[in-house]
Amino acid sequence: MVRVEIIANQSVEDDIVERIENELPELEYTILPGVHGKGKSSHKLGNNIWPEENFLLFAYTDDENAAKLKEIVEAVKLRFPREGISIFAVPSCEI
């Protein structure tokens, strides 16, 4: 089991979620809206100076679904190359 985290600009949230719903309808996930931080090229702080925000989607899933999520993120990145979109996976275990 792995924990997959997708952190991206809110402007691409609908595109990512729509693809997940279409391609992995059984996947259970959680979305945290209004995530603030600083990436490689910009800040997303939701304030007057840095008004944009990110979202975080995470899911605990198997390796096969994690690979599919990576494909989904890569496809969205191709459509929106200037938006910050990252995906991470870390091993996890259910206790």
For residue range 8-67, list pLDDT tens digits in order: 999 999 999 999 999 999 999 999 999 988 877 777 777 777 778 999 999 999 999 999
CA distance 49 to 59: 32
Using a 10 angstrom Cβ sphere, with 0-12 exposed, 13-18 middle and 19 or more buried, the burial of residue 57 is buried
pTM of the entire predicted model = 0.90
Write down the pLDDT at residue 7.
96
The pLDDT, as a whole number, for residue 68 is: 98
Higher pLDDT, 79 or 47: 79
What is the arithmetic mean of pLDDT over 64-79?
A: 98
Region of residue 90 (left: phi > 0; alpha: psi -120 to 50; beta: else): beta
